[in-house]
């Protein structure tokens, strides 16, 4: 009986060894119905993970960390440009706010165009291209790609996910039993918000700081059932964000990367700080009012164009005097 038990144990070990090697070749993920394309973000992330896992020999937890850090390093130049743009905007904030206020309150189309040109000239004179402000938004499809890609791999689960975790979360296909990854993620998200966002140059209002302090805490129970693989990505991505924030706040780094310094202006306080909902409602009301003004200006412009056409049409009518009419009749 003992010999039979040893034989069974050897067979089990050999089988698990064969299964453990299944994910160590390119094309494994496609063979199980994952990584079907190279253009869909989750599939692209899965291809990247598989490539790094196969050619480096890293366990899956190390692969997730390496790919996450690699992607963030590729995106770092975009955050540098965004940080520089935010800083340059801070230099002209009083003038820019004054022009924007006039633009918002203008009722004439020509007047609005004049202020818009003034704003454009002000930005051009200071070498500011606000399109770089949207660069960090590329992180959204990247994060969604990692989230969906890793979740699908954990749900399968991919070979090696069950035993290639680390520390207290050895099974990447299951949720972290101690919520340690969730707590780490919440802590780093609060930290980088307090430090000025991922560009290291954003100035959050007290209300926004409170909001971004509460949100990560709420995310702990919201993500408690997610697989350790997904939350590991959140944690590593968050830690990189804190490191990036500290880097972009460093004066020596900003000088070497030719990033402008941030100019802090005193905030105008009209009463107690407004909450998130109140601020949102106020901004929506301003946007609605501006849209109505623009529509009114467009309607008035159309009326003027129609009136001009009518005047041109009437000017073509030839006026015949009575004396001329008598001469022609004779």
The DSSP annotation for 90-150 comes to HHTHHHHHHHHHHHHH--SHHHHHHHHHHHHHHHHHTT--GGGGGGGGGHHHHHHHHHHHH
Most confidently modeled of 13-22, 136-145, 257-266, 305-314? 136-145
The reply to whether 181 falls in a domain is yes
Give CA 316 to chain center in angstroms.
59
Q: Is residue 24 a contact partner of residue 56, using CB atoms and an 8 Å limit?
A: no
The reply to whether 313 falls in a domain is no
Compute the 3-state secondary structure of the chain and give helix, strand, coil in percent, each to the nearest 5.
70, 0, 30
Q: 3-state class of 166 per DSSP?
A: strand
The pTM of this model reads 0.72
The reply to whether 225 falls in a domain is yes
Quickly state the pLDDT bin for 16 (edges 50, 70, 90): very low
Torsion of CA 216, 149, 154, 164, to 10 degrees: -90
The reply to whether 193 falls in a domain is yes
- In this prediction, residue 271 carries a pLDDT of 47
The reply to whether 197 falls in a domain is yes
The Cα–Cα gap between 72 and 69 comes to: 5
The reply to whether 196 falls in a domain is yes
What region does 160 belong to: left with phi over 0, alpha with psi -120 to 50, or beta? left
The reply to whether 195 falls in a domain is yes
Residue range of the domain that includes 251: 177-259
The reply to whether 56 falls in a domain is no
Give CA 228 to chain center in angstroms.
23
Q: How many domains does the chain have?
A: 1
Quickly state the pLDDT bin for 15 (edges 50, 70, 90): very low
């Amino acid at each position: 009986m003992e010999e039979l038990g040893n034989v069974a144990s050897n067979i089990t070990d050999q089988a698990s060894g064969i299964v453990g090697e299944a994910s160590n070749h390119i094309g494994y993920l496609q063979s199980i119905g994952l990584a079907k394309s190279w253009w869909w973000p989750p599939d692209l992330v899965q291809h990247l993970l598989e490539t790094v896992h196969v050619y480096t020999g890293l366990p899956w937890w190390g692969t997730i960390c390496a790919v996450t850090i690699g992607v963030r390093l590729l995106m770092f130049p975009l955050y540098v440009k965004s940080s520089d743009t935010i800083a340059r905007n801070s230099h002209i904030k009083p003038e820019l706010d004054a022009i924007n206020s006039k633009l918002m309150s203008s009722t004439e189309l020509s007047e609005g165009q004049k202020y818009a040109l003034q704003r454009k000239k002000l930005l051009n004179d200071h070498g500011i291209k606000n399109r770089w402000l949207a660069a960090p938004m590329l992180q959204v499809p990247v994060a969604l790609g990692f989230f969906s890609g890793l979740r699908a791999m954990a749900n399968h689960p991919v070979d090696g996910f069950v035993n290639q975790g680390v520390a207290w979360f050895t099974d990447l296909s299951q949720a972290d039993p101690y919520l340690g990854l969730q707590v780490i993620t919440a802590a780093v998200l609060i930290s980088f918000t307090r430090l000025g966002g991922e560009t290291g140059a954003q100035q959050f209002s007290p209300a926004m700081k409170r909001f971004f302090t509460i949100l990560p805490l709420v995310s702990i129970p919201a993500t408690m059932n997610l697989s350790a693989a997904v939350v590991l990505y959140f944690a590593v991505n968050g830690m990189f964000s804190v490191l990036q924030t500290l880097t972009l706040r460093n004066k020596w780094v900003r000088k070497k990367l030719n990033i402008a310094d941030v100019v802090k202006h005193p905030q105008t306080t009209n009463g107690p700080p407004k909450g998130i909902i109140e601020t949102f409602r106020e901004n929506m009301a301003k946007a609605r009012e501006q849209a109505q003004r623009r529509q009114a200006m467009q309607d008035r412009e159309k009326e003027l164009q129609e009136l001009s056409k009518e005047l041109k049409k009437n000017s073509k009518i030839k006026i015949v005097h009575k004396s001329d009419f008598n001469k022609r009749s004779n």
